[in-house]
Amino acid sequence: MSTIPGDPSTLPAPGTVLRELVLITGISGSGKSVALHALEDAGYFCVDNLPPELLREYMGLSHPRYTQKVAIAVDVRTAGSLPVLVPLIDELRREGVAIRPLFLDASTDTLVRRFSETRRPHPLSQPEADGSGQHALIEAIELERLMLAELRELSTVIDTSTLRPAGLRSHVRDLVAAANSRITLVFESFAFKYGVPLDADYVFDVRVLPNPYYERDLRALTGRDAPVAQFLAGQPEAAEMLSQIETFIRRWLPALATDQRGYVTVAIGCTGGQHRSVYMVEQLGRRFADHGATVVRHRELVAGD
C-alpha cells in the first residue's frame, strides 16, 4: 500500500506523541558520522550502527526521549540485515513514524582519497598481500554501491564529494529544519567543471546565458551580489529560462509529492558555479518561498567552509 505524506490515514491518532526518525545511510567514507554529530547538536537523540532488524523494536520504546526525535545511522557493517530495511521503512511510516532517510554519497575518487588519508580499511575490503590495495578498495566501494542501491533510491541523497565537515553539517541542519509534511525543495548551484552533483534529481544547464565573469567589475563578485543580479536580471534569456524552470517545477511538484518524495533537489550549473547558477538558484528560492519548505545551497561557495 502506497502512502501520501500528510494523508490522514497515515497520521497518528490524536494525542499520540509523534515519533520523528532521521535515518542516515550511505557509502562508507561519505561523512555519516559528521551528519550524525550535526543532528546531535540539533537536539536529536543519536544512535550509530543500529542493526536494521532492531529498528522496529527501538522505535517502539515507550520513553519519548529516545524515540520522539531520533537520528539513527545504519551502514554496510550490518550488510546481512540491509534487505529488511526498505520494506521496514514503509511499515513504520504506516504506523505513524515520520521517517526521513538521508543517503550520503561521494565520488569514487574522493572516497579512495579519504580512505588513503585516514588509513582506515573499508568495511568490505580484505588486505591484499600482492600490494593491490587500491584496486581492492575500488572494488569494495562499487560492491557497496550495489548493495545500497535500493536504499539510495528512496532517500534524499547528499553529495559530499566537495564538502568539508562544516559545510556538510550546515547542509544536514538546513534539510531537517526545512522538512515538514510537504515536500522539501532543494535548489543547488554548482560548476560543471567540478562535476554534476550526485544528489541532483533535476539538472539545468545555464551556461548559455551571458556570463558576468567577462565583465571586469563583476568578475570577483557572485550571483548573490546586487551588481551581478542586476546584470542578469537585465538579460531577456535569463528571465525566460528562469520562468521555464519555475513552470516545470510547479507543473510536476504535486506529482512528486504523491510519490512519497521527501525532498527534490534541483541543480543549476554554470561554468564556475559563482555567477549565473548562483543567481538562478537565489531567484528560484525567492519564487518558491510560498512553498514553505525550501533550501538554497551553493556548492562551490560552501565547499571550502
- The grid cell for 225 is 551580489
Domain boundary among 122, 157, 178: 178
Give the burial class of 58: count Cβ atoms within 10 A of its Cβ; 0-12 exposed, 13-18 middle, 19 or more buried: middle
| Residues 200 and 95 reside in one and the same domain | no
What is the value of pTM for the model shown? Answer: 0.70
The domain in which residue 93 lies consists of 20-178
Domain boundary among 178, 200, 232: 178
Task: Say what the pLDDT of residue 300 is.
Answer: 93
| Residues 170 and 188 reside in one and the same domain | no
| Residues 170 and 199 reside in one and the same domain | no
Binding residue per annotation — 69?
no
Binding residue per annotation — 29?
yes
Q: Give domain status of residue 31, yes or no.
A: yes
Binding residue per annotation — 201?
no
| Residues 83 and 57 reside in one and the same domain | yes
| Residues 51 and 189 reside in one and the same domain | no
| Residues 154 and 262 reside in one and the same domain | no
Q: Which residue has the cell 525567492?
A: 286
- Which residue, among 219, 194, 198, has the nearest Cα to 145 in the 3D structure? 198
Binding residue per annotation — 75?
yes
Binding residue per annotation — 105?
no
| Residues 165 and 189 reside in one and the same domain | no
Q: Give domain status of residue 191, yes or no.
A: yes
Task: Say what the pLDDT of residue 62 is.
Answer: 79
Q: Give domain status of residue 10, yes or no.
A: no
Binding residue per annotation — 76?
yes
Binding residue per annotation — 203?
no
Binding residue per annotation — 243?
no
Task: Say what the pLDDT of residue 1 is.
Answer: 25
| Residues 145 and 201 reside in one and the same domain | no
| Residues 232 and 132 reside in one and the same domain | no
Task: Say what the pLDDT of residue 10 is.
Answer: 40
Task: Say what the pLDDT of residue 220 is.
Answer: 95
Binding residue per annotation — 193?
no
| Residues 204 and 91 reside in one and the same domain | no
Task: Say what the pLDDT of residue 126 is.
Answer: 62
* Euclidean distance between the first and the last CA atom of the chain, given in angstroms as a whole number: 43
Q: C-alpha 241: how far from its chain's center?
A: 25
| Residues 24 and 169 reside in one and the same domain | yes
| Residues 199 and 164 reside in one and the same domain | no
Binding residue per annotation — 31?
yes
Q: Give domain status of residue 12, yes or no.
A: no
Q: Give domain status of residue 4, yes or no.
A: no
**Total domains present in the chain:** 2
Q: Give domain status of residue 287, yes or no.
A: yes
Give the span between the Cα atoms of 37 and 35, in whole angstroms: 5
Binding residue per annotation — 30?
yes
Binding residue per annotation — 78?
yes
Q: What is the pLDDT along the chain (305 residues), one digit of tens a residue?
A: 223 333 333 444 444 457 889 999 999 999 999 999 999 988 999 999 888 888 888 988 878 778 889 999 988 777 677 778 888 998 898 888 989 899 999 999 999 999 888 878 888 876 554 444 566 889 899 999 998 998 898 888 999 998 889 889 988 988 887 765 468 899 999 999 999 999 899 999 999 999 999 999 999 999 999 999 999 999 999 999 999 999 999 999 888 877 666 789 999 999 999 999 999 999 999 999 888 788 999 999 975 44
CATH of the domain at 164: 3.40.50.300
- Which residue, among 226, 232, 214, 304, has the nearest Cα to 268 in the 3D structure? 232
Domain boundary among 144, 178, 212: 178
Q: Which amino acid is at 119?
A: R
